[in-house]
Structure 1
Amino acid sequence: MVDVSIILPVYNAEKWLNESLHSIIDQNFEGTLELSVFNDGSTDRSYEVLSQWRSRLEAKGIKVILGGHSETQPKGVGAAKNHAVKQSAGTYLCFFDADDVMLKDRVQQQYKAALAHPKSLIGCQFYREPANSTSRYTNWANSLSQDQLFHQAYTSHGPTVIMPTWFCSRAMFEEIGEFSEAGKGTPEDLIFFYRLLEMNLGLYRVDQCLLMYRYHPEATTFSVLEETIWNLRVSALEDQVLSKWSAFTIWNAGKQGRKLYRSLQPHNQNKVLMLCDVDKKKTDKGVYTYEESKCIPKPKIPIVHFTRAKPPFIICVKQDMTGGQLEENLASLQLTEGKDYIHFN
């Protein structure tokens, strides 16, 4: 019996593998550990590096399963993760990217958290390398409260529990289903994450820095189009939030607020009471006319100052980008996040 399988998809990761594999050997986990690797058609020396490390890992009591080939065409990170899970045997799954580094407590601390929260996807805090490469994103992800892991799931940042930090039971993974195997340009982590939320499963973050999350231009994240992410976010927002609301206000009468309105399905557009803003130029217009609509007459949405608007709100203003004004305005209305408003940006 294996307690934890580390799930490692690999594609042309030769330059990082020595550091990432060394961090597996350094784990202080008290249970049984295995490493399940799927080499997704690497054309560099990734397979050779993995083969060289096998004896070192097994000497430390870490079984290694090395699947995949260098001769085959890459099928994408979703397929590689699925293959690595299928060939593994652990009761729990610790997802790990080949370009990242685990701190020595990672498996032990997340394993303890998973035992305490058996129906939850477990994450942890992290730091970036190079330092401060995505400081705003890192601060946001590391500072979310337990409730905000759910409430801010539709922001442009992606999953509130960051994919390279995922840890969960095999039973939970199988209940949610495999990652999308649509290939390059598919945000398989976000699709999986929204499926988890739809199934009312849990989220939990260990408030301890347990991972170095590397930032570099070769990361698969950069192959995903912004519009793909936008469409997924809107769909999840409609299914998981707006389906429970009979009416709502979009907070932002500018570009992002109007784009959200236009992206909604017609029955959700009909639920929009108004757009609200702080910009006098926008509120003085008094109305937003949806010119692209096929309806006659064209829909006209009132634009009001935020103090005159009716909750609940979908907030389409970027957090931490207004010098604290947005946060002060929200606080002045004495609203409850998740009930009276949801952040979308």
Structure 2
Amino acid sequence: MSSEDPEQRDRRSEVDMNPPKRLRTAESHTGTELEVEKSTVDVSIIMPVYNASCWLDECLQAIVDQDFTGSMELSVFDDASTDDSRKVVEGWREKLEARLISVVVSGHYSPKPRGVGFAKNKAISQSCGQYLCFQDADDIMLPQRIRLQYDACVLHQNSLIGCRVQRVPEGSTERYTHWINTLSQHQLITQVYTSHGPTVVMPTWFCSRKWYLKVGAFDEGGKGVPEDLLFFYQSLRQGGGLSRVDECLLVYRYHEKATTHSVTEETIWKLRVDFLQERVLSQWENFTIWNAGKQGRKLYRCLSPTNQKKVKAFCDVDENKIQKGFYTYEESKERPKPKIPILHYKVASAPFVICVKLDMTGGILEENLNSLQLKEGIDFYHFN
């Protein structure tokens, strides 16, 4: 029996992990091709792949069709696919290189995938672009994507740059797609605590390599780990900005095999609560939770003891909840148990954490907030 440990086997099974950079060639005045000295290219398209062969032809054709005139490379890392994904990518090498897009492909043959974070990190480490364009293998970039996001990123070197999307099949995740496409620049920052996840969604990310290196690698915990949200929050901690090109530059595919479905709501909930406490609640002396129902009470129970003490009231529009007068925190070890007042929103005071879902009240929530003349990011933050 071999004494080789699993990590050693994984390392041995990785193929072409550091292949030589294949860069664009330049033509001399005599007409002969000269190899360009090993250096960076303008943009590396970062593509982790796992069992994506049915989508790759559309995805790769869209890369060939880009109208960007700078230098590009495609960096693919195959995360133990069991289909012919690697073969499909290799079949496009000639077309890509004819378009002067250099191609780097590697991967591993371990018994199971190591996860999206691992594959992204590997694809980045073998690439050499000054800027990184993240591309999911099941999505399709529109011809102007790289050109417009590159131009935006040159101006915002320490930011994650996104874009608007077209969701397919049409009508899937309608509320989510509306949210992605209609957030204002201000809301890209203020709504980072909502259950939708990153306000600049991962399949649209474009950033400088220097910013990726500043933030640090993606979490490699594997299945069930929201590596995009973890990176997104870490980018904000480092002082990173957020921006969006307000054009539709990506066809964003919805399907049941998407890796996002492996992340549990509870995992996301905990990350959001922790980030809210770190970035917002730590700055407030006290606050009101807007929603005396299930979601508001759940938020309260998940807060640290210090932040629970800052909750001066719940507020609501439901007269039945308001008439109860108080919410008693039965799980508390304090004696007497904490009793938090339940008020009508009109007599409650800011700042608020809003635990009511957006676009689910027929505009009533938004009207109520507007009636109080509150400013998002100062007087309230959305949590749900």
Aligned partner of residue 346 in structure 2, secondary structure = helix
2:201 to 144, 162, 165: 162
**Residues 7 and 96 in structure 1, CA contact (< 8 A), matched pair in contact too:** yes
The answer to whether 1:303 aligns with 2:342 is yes
The percent of aligned pairs where both chains have the same amino acid is: 63
- Match in the other structure for 1:186: 225
2:58 counterpart residue number: 19
Among candidates 136, 139, 145, match of residue 100 of structure 1: 139
- Paired letter, 1:271: K
Gaps (5+ residues) in structure 1?
A: none
What is the CA-CA distance between 1:311 and the residue it aligns to? Answer: 0.4
Q: Which runs of 5+ in 2 are unaligned?
A: 1-39
Q: Which region of structure 1 is more displaced relative to structure 2, 148-157 or 190-199?
A: 190-199
* Aligned position for 1:249: 288
Q: Which amino acid aligns with 2:215?
A: I
Q: CA deviation at 1:190?
A: 0.3
State the match for 1:290 in structure 2. 329
Q: Which of 188, 212, 215 is equivalent to 2:251?
A: 212
Q: Do the aligned partners of 1:7 and 1:35 also contact (CA within 8 Å) in 2?
A: yes
Which residue matches 1:316?
355
1:72 offset after TM fit, Å?
5.1
Pairing partner for 1:281 from 315, 320, 334: 320
3-state SS in 2 of match to 1:256? helix
Distance across 2 between alignment mates of 1:200 and 1:264:
25
Give the TM-score normalised by the residue count of structure 2.
Answer: 0.89
- The answer as to 2:121 corresponding to 1:47 is no
- Give 1:251's aligned amino acid: W
1:200 aligns with 2:219: no
In 2, Cα distance between the equivalents of 1:206 and 1:57?
26
- The alpha carbon displacement at 1:69 in A equals 2.7
Render the CA deviation track for 1:260-306: whole Å, top value 9, x for unaligned.
00000111101101000000000000100000111111111000000
Counterpart-to-counterpart distance in 2, 1:52 and 1:236: 44
Contact 1:124 1:210 in 2 (8 A): yes
Is 2:53 the counterpart of 1:32? no
**Does the CA-based 8 Å contact 1:248-1:273 persist in structure 2?**
yes
In structure 1, what is the equivalent of residue 18 of structure 2? none
Q: How many residues end up aligned between the 2 structures?
A: 345
* Cα RMSD after superposing both structures: 0.7
Which of these residues, 303, 310, 320, is aligned with residue 264 of structure 1?
Answer: 303
List per-residue Cα deviations over 1:73-123 (Å, max 9, x = no partner): 310000000000000000000001000000000000000000111111100
Match of 1:341 in 2: 380
Deviation, 1:235, is 0.6
Which runs of structure 2 are paired with 1:6-155 in the superposition (5 Å)? 6-71=45-110, 73-155=112-194
Q: Distance in 2 between matches of 1:68 and 1:17?
A: 16
